[in-house]
Structure 1
Amino acid sequence: MKAKRVYAIGVLVLVFLVWSSVGLAAGLEKVRASHQPCMHALPTILCQKLGWFKELGIDVSFHYYSSGMPQVEAGLAGEWDVGAIGTSPAFFAGMRHNFPIIACSNDESVTNNVMVRKKDYKRLTQNPKKALKGTTWLVSTISTGHHVVLAYLDSIGLPERDIKIVHMEQPAILSAFIAGQGDVAQTWAPFNYLHEREGEVVLAHGKMVNTVVPGAVIATKKFANEHPDLVAKWLQGYMKGVHYMISEPFKSAKYLQDYYKEVGIDLTYEEVLKEFKLRPLFGIYDQLMLFSREETPYSTYDKWIDSLGDFYLKVKRIKEKPDVRTFITDKFLKMVEADMMKMR
């Protein structure tokens, strides 16, 4: 009889725990985060796996997109609320649709590359202006990578009209270049690590041609206007993920390796570690400094994004540059800072 009573109490406790967990989840406010097969998805993944979003009172769902422009289109269709994205799609989302850029995901300058086959490197670098004239370049056009391509061409005095650009997405560039197509490949992480496996080498990257390539953290206009508190809560969790990545790169690399494998990019642990060596991350106070306009009319981050405007004017994608300050804001970073101060 005693055993039956204990069993009954155990069942009641189990039912109560299940009911409580369901009730707790039901009480969490929903936020939909959008990401790509990139390192800047990892802060959200860490928060989900380690339970940090729930500690902040939000239930965050993960929405995957292969590239930036489909991600923006899905945001316009109301399919997500916040996310990380490349600065080219972020620029157009801000200029055309008032999607605010609310933080910087990382500095991608060293991992936005112009790559060539090892056997061609010496020949192409002895007199690059002459050697590269008339060559075929595989490029993801109207992107930050394309921006780096133009900066490199400017650095050697070769006009874009003197090369042939073939547009491809990054997976297609990898396959085509391995198959022998094209003379030069424009790449970005994590695909450039796969190019390196094939014996390809870096001809130039953003930092080499004085071009900063930052990442962007954004929200949709509607969600930012209607739920600024939820944007700030998600960003607080995202920044906690960034801080974890800065303090625990070796543990974080394992999470990133698992994520890449899930989306079909099979990298070794050593290759994934390069992401942490080559792509600087910014903690909350570094972010606030990047976005600050207290001492100058334009913040450091404003200037980085404004240079994209110069690029798109040059390639005639836009007729006039927008004032990037209309869609870049430190409002949510300041909300995160205020909440962090309360918790101390």
Structure 2
Amino acid sequence: MKKTILWAVMCLMLIASAAQAKPVTVKSAWLTEFEALPAWYAHVRQWDTAAGITLDMQLYPSGKYLMDNVSSLKWDVAGLGGAPGVLGMLRKQACVVGIGSDEAAANAVFVRKDSPLPAALRDNPSARDYARLVTGKIVLCPRGTSAHQLLLLWLDRMGLSEESVSLLDTPPDEAVTGLAGGMGDMAVLWAPQTYAAEQAGLIPLLTGRDLGLAQPTLLMARTDYAEKAGPQVRAFLACYLQAVEALQAMPREELAALYQRFQKEFCGQDISLEQAMRDVDTHTLYPLARQRELLSSDGELHRWLEDVIAFHERTGELSRGQTGKLRDTPLVRATFLPADLPKGE
């Protein structure tokens, strides 16, 4: 009897010790964009702690910066666009473990109020006539980004090429102030810089969604980290997707108010409730069931990544040999998706 009691006491002590075990820190890297919202909300609600990890969330200026400096930054998981993401996949530095959001509707071409393009577009001109208005224009756009991908698709639809315009490689913040100040003829931007463009009086001409473009942001893990810390990657996805489902269940106004708070507290940016609602309306989040579909061997994510690979080949960022290597490389690892999500609080 004494042995039984002693054994029970030891078991209780072990359980208590495990419960008090310090959560493992997972270094996560983000931009000031919508895909960071679920991670921030999971951390606020302490769902990361419940999953056995603590998300250390850090902000960076661009996805390209994240991938170019992955060796020195040593982030464990990150959210970034597909255009810079595939470059990390080519170097085998990172792999896709999930999808953050689709930002196609938040990527847009902007012009000044005095531009003839908005009025011409309303008149529904032929592609040839519209192309004449666009040819030779100066476009402010960061190269190798989802904005650049949108620009090339738009030019394609008009039968034009990148050589038909003068492309100035310009960071989004500088593109807004430059275009508003009279520099160039148009700029290609993403949220939240699109809000700054509107506040500066610039006019949105079209979005990626208008062209039927899918531009997913990717949830990525550093390859060497994923191989040695698979449970932590799964825990990250579990709390992230728990937050996704909670966010999707919120009324639009409540979600917009929460997004406004996220932008202020985490991103250090003040946006209006109207802007927050627009960001909510122009971004798609993917719950666990949809993630499984998209990341499966025949899922749409593979086609979306193929579009990004073709984009890089077209711009000359990647050679045919490199794109061939990418197409032969397993880019997506669906095995890190959790089997199920926690219920309730």
Smaller-chain TM-score bracket: 0.7 to 0.9
261-270 vs 189-198, which moves further: 261-270
Using the TM superposition, name which of 161-170 and 118-127 deviates more.
118-127
1:161-181 deviations in whole A, cap 9, x for unaligned?
121111111111111112121
**1:253 alignment counterpart:** 256
Q: Over residues 173-215 of structure 1, what are the superposed CA-to-partner deviations in whole Å (9 max), with x where a residue is unaligned?
A: 1111121211011011111122123332222221222321111
SS at match of 1:34: strand
Contact 2:141 2:168 in 1 (8 A): yes
1:319 aligns with 319
Match 1:76 to one of 68, 71, 91: 71
Q: Which runs of 5+ in 1 are unaligned?
A: 1-22
Partner of 2:153: 151
Pairing 1:292–2:296 present: yes
Among candidates 36, 48, 51, match of residue 43 of structure 2: 48
Distance 2:93 2:244 in 1: 25
Paired residue type of 1:259: F
Letter matched to residue 316 of structure 2 = K
In the alignment, what sits opposite 2:341? 340
Contact kept in structure 2, 1:74 and 1:80, CA below 8 Å: no
Match of 2:242, SS state, is helix
1:271 lines up with 2:275 in the alignment: yes
Residue pair 1:115, 1:185 contacting (<8 A) in 2 also: yes
* Mapped contact 2:138–2:165 kept (Cα < 8 A): yes
**Structure-2 residue corresponding to 1:6:** none
What is the RMSD computed on CA atoms of the aligned residues? Answer: 2.3
Any idea what SS the aligned residue of 1:251 has?
helix
Matched, 1:308 2:308: yes
- In 2, Cα distance between equivalents of 1:177 and 1:141: 17
- Amino acid paired to 2:341: M
Seq. identity, %: 22
**Partner SS state of residue 101, structure 2:** coil
TM-score, with length taken from structure 2: 0.85
Question: How far 1:25 sits from its partner (Å)?
Answer: 7.2
Query: Which residue does the alignment assign to 2:95?
Result: 100
Structure 2 residue matching 1:181: 3-state secondary structure: coil
Give the distance between the partners of 2:242 and 2:286, measured in 1 at CA: 11
The CA distance in 2 between the partners of 1:252 and 1:30, in whole Å, is 27
Change (3 A) 1:246 1:216: same
Q: TM-score, structure 1 length as denominator?
A: 0.86
Q: Supply the AA of the counterpart residue of 1:46.
A: Y
Alignment partner of 1:104: what SS? strand
Distance 1:136 1:184 in 2: 7
User: Between Structure 1 and Structure 2, which shows a larger proportion of helix residues?
Assistant: 1
